[in-house]
Amino acid sequence: MRDVLSRIGIGSARVDTVLPSSTVRAGESVDAEVHVEGGSTDQDVDAIYFALETEYRTEEGYQEAVVDKWRLTEPFTIEEGEERRFETTIEVPRRTPVTVGSVSVEVETGLDISLAVDPEDEDRIEVRPTERLQAVFDALESLGFSLHSSECSARPGGVFSTSASFVQEFEYRPRGGEFSGDVDEVEVVPVYGDDALTVHLEVDRRGGLLSEAMDVDERHTSFTVTDADPDAIEGPLADAIRDLS
């Protein structure tokens, strides 16, 4: 009877991931320790698995997305009441969304147990921008813009050169400086490559009701970032915004 109950999650093994730090920069890694505690009966565990998860907006609502997934350990048996610990390193890809605005990212840890409900654990982590993206943000701040909102949304087909099902949008608004009064907002969409960061930029100009109704107040461009120097980015970024405003 205990074996039957454990298969539906009652008295089953438990898993818990302990993170020494819940903050990590995209493209880097964080160490973790996985604690597995046996339940009321011996259970065969095929693997410990991880999934890095977020969610994005679609026309139908919000949908879960797996940024990355991987497995830890060979099959093993966790005996009744036994406690085991496993050390691992969680790699956070560059494309992982930055956790600002409404965006959240979680590490899900699970035990793969055949013919049974998989015990799971979820840990929310704080993801900071890559150094190149942070340099873009710093350059925007120097130009008088501040972050207003951010969210992940479904990738429009063929618009961005990425295989991901979603992109993250950052909306900046002028708080002062050269573009105050001329620009409503600047939207930034990063697309990550191995050697560079491609930044897609949309500038929403201040215009009359007619121009806004016709969507002619929005203009687009993109540029490539190869280093993490805000001073080097600020000039080309300002030129791009001027050209579109």
Q: Are residues 238 and 200 in the same domain?
A: yes
Separation of alpha carbons 229 and 237, rounded Å: 12
Q: Are residues 124 and 135 in the same domain?
A: no
Q: Render pLDDT for 58-77 as a digit per residue (tens, 0 to 9).
A: 988 899 999 999 998 889 99
Last residue of a domain, one of 108, 128, 148: 128
Last residue of a domain, one of 84, 108, 128: 128
What pLDDT, on the 0 to 100 scale, is given for residue 68? 94
Residues in contact with 238: Cβ distance below 8 Å, sequence separation at least 6, in sequence order: 143, 178
Domain region containing 62: 2-128
The domain tally of the chain equals: 2
Last residue of a domain, one of 128, 152, 173: 128
Q: Render pLDDT for 194-216 as a digit per residue (tens, 0 to 9).
A: 889 999 999 987 644 333 444 44
Separation of alpha carbons 202 and 77, rounded Å: 54
Do 37 and 109 meet the contact criterion of CB atoms below 8 Å apart?
no
Strands 218-225, 197-205: pairing is: antiparallel
Q: Render pLDDT for 24-50 as a digit per residue (tens, 0 to 9).
A: 999 999 999 999 999 888 889 999 999
Q: Are residues 116 and 142 in the same domain?
A: no
Q: Render pLDDT for 85-124 as a digit per residue (tens, 0 to 9).
A: 999 999 999 999 999 988 999 999 999 987 566 788 999 9
**How many other C-beta atoms lie within 10 A of the C-beta of residue 195?**
6
In order of 46, 47, 77, 111, the CA distances from 73 in angstroms are 8, 6, 11, 10
Residue 237 or residue 117, greater confidence: 237
